[in-house]
């Protein structure tokens, strides 16, 4: 959206619209491409790198993935072990990455690796890594409980050589570059999940109004009525928090706290709303024919 003179709220509108797709994997894949694997390159990359990697990615000719998480370092980004050692005008990369969205089909990876022995927050760099290079082994596509349409890979690097000009921005700044965009990632996740949860409450309400049990519609049971009202209220509050956080962010504020709160609440409600609504559907909720079971999964 930067090139079109649009602000971050437009990205949020896209995220929310994608949340109407009845599949979590699609908004996640688009989100990785749009607002996770490419922002550092957009902000800090050389013109040459942008031409080689960013232009075809925006055009949709390249699939990008983000190489941060490892088997022993997910949320704890500072403790990654993958190394990129400078040799002449190349980096030699060794290590591995885990939970890499779009990893099996990606054309390139925005890789975070340790480029020196320094302190953990100052020794990391981001590198544009073409996924066709020798020594890159895609170990497996991970079989998951949910997000089953999403290609999530485990990848190993064995003496992978990449030109040093593929470094994004400055050496040692990779951790900082990555942290800058985490707030946008969190908000993308919230904006994607909200419409799906609102939809499932609406569908459940409609179903409970039609389904007869003991001679009257299910919705005529007050306990059920109260529960759906509570869930609708929780979602409305989350929507307000998301709006407030976006407004503060657009004004240039640090929204780490609010974005983290919104992400926490969205994750909890994703489980609570789908679980509560599933109960209303009775045995049907256990089948794959209804949306609620898919969103629960």
d(CA 242, CA 249): 10
DSSP class of 73: B
Identify the H or E element spanning 297. none
Domain-embedded: residue 1: no
User: For position 181, what pLDDT does the model report?
Assistant: 85
Same domain, 134 and 216: no
d(CA 241, CA 278): 26
Q: Are 93 and 131 in contact (CB under 8 A)?
A: no
Residues annotated catalytic, as ranges = 185
The string of pLDDT tens digits covering residues 53-103 is: 999 999 999 999 999 999 988 788 889 999 999 999 999 999 999 999 999
Tokens 């190349």 correspond to 90
**Which CATH number characterizes residue 224's domain?**
1.20.140.10
Residues of the chain with pLDDT > 90, as a percent, come to 90
Last residue of a domain, one of 137, 170, 203: 170
Mean pLDDT, rounded, for 136-151? 94
User: For position 1, what pLDDT does the model report?
Assistant: 52
Domain-embedded: residue 71: yes
Is the dihedral angle over the CA atoms 146, 148, 150, 156 positive or is it negative? positive
Identify the H or E element spanning 178. helix 174-210
Same domain, 91 and 191: no
Whether pTM > 0.85 for this model: the answer is yes
Last residue of a domain, one of 123, 139, 170: 170
What is the CA 2 to chain-centroid distance, rounded?
A: 20
d(CA 218, CA 49): 59
Q: Which domain holds residue 62?
A: 8-170
d(CA 276, CA 231): 9
Same domain, 153 and 190: no
Specify the number of domains making up the chain. 2
Same domain, 164 and 195: no
Mean pLDDT, rounded, for 129-138? 98
Q: Over 70: is that where the pLDDT of 3 sits?
A: no
Same domain, 22 and 166: yes
Mean pLDDT, rounded, for 213-240? 95
Same domain, 89 and 188: no
Same domain, 127 and 241: no
74 token code pair? 């997910």
Q: Is 84 strand, coil or helix?
A: strand
Last residue of a domain, one of 170, 203, 228: 170
Residue 2 — very low, low, confident or very high, per pLDDT cuts 50/70/90? Answer: low
Concatenated DSSP letters of 207-260: HHHH-EETTEEGGGSHHHHHHHHHHHHHHHHHHHHHHHHHHHHHTT---HHHHH
Domain-embedded: residue 182: yes
Same domain, 156 and 140: yes
d(CA 222, CA 130): 58
d(CA 141, CA 157): 16
Q: Over 70: is that where the pLDDT of 292 sits?
A: yes
The string of pLDDT tens digits covering residues 8-66 is: 999 999 999 999 998 899 999 999 999 899 999 999 999 999 999 999 999 999 999 99
Domain-embedded: residue 3: no
Same domain, 186 and 161: no
């Amino acid at each position: 959206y930067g090139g079109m003179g649009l602000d971050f709220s437009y990205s949020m509108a896209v995220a929310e619209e994608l949340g109407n797709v009845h599949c979590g994997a699609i908004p996640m894949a688009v989100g990785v491409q749009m607002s996770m694997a490419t922002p550092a390159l957009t902000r800090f990359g050389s013109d040459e790198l942008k031409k080689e990697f960013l232009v075809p990615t925006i055009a949709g000719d390249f699939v990008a993935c983000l190489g941060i998480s490892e088997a022993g370092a997910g949320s704890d980004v500072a403790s990654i072990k993958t190394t990129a050692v400078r040799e002449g005008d190349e980096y030699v990369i060794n290590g591995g990455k885990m939970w890499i969205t779009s990893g099996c089909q990606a054309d390139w990876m925005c890789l975070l690796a340790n480029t020196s022995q320094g302190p953990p927050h100052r020794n990391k760099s981001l590198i544009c890594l073409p996924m066709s290079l020798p020594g890159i082994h895609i170990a497996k596509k991970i079989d998951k409980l949910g997000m089953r349409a999403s290609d999530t890979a485990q990848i190993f690097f064995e003496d992978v050589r990449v030109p040093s000009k593929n470094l994004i921005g400055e050496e040692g700044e990779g951790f900082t570059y990555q942290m800058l965009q985490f707030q946008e990632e969190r908000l993308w996740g919230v904006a994607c999940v909200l419409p799906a949860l609102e939809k499932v409450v609406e569908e459940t309400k409609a179903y409970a109004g039609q389904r007869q049990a003991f001679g009257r519609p299910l919705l005529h049971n007050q306990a059920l009525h109260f529960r759906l009202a509570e869930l609708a209220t929780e979602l409305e509050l989350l929507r307000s928090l998301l709006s407030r956080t976006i407004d503060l962010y657009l004004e240039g504020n640090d929204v780490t706290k609010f974005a983290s709160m919104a992400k926490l609440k969205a994750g909890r409600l994703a489980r609570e709303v789908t679980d509560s609504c599933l109960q209303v559907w009775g045995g049907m909720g256990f089948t794959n024919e209804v949306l609620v079971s898919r969103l629960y999964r």
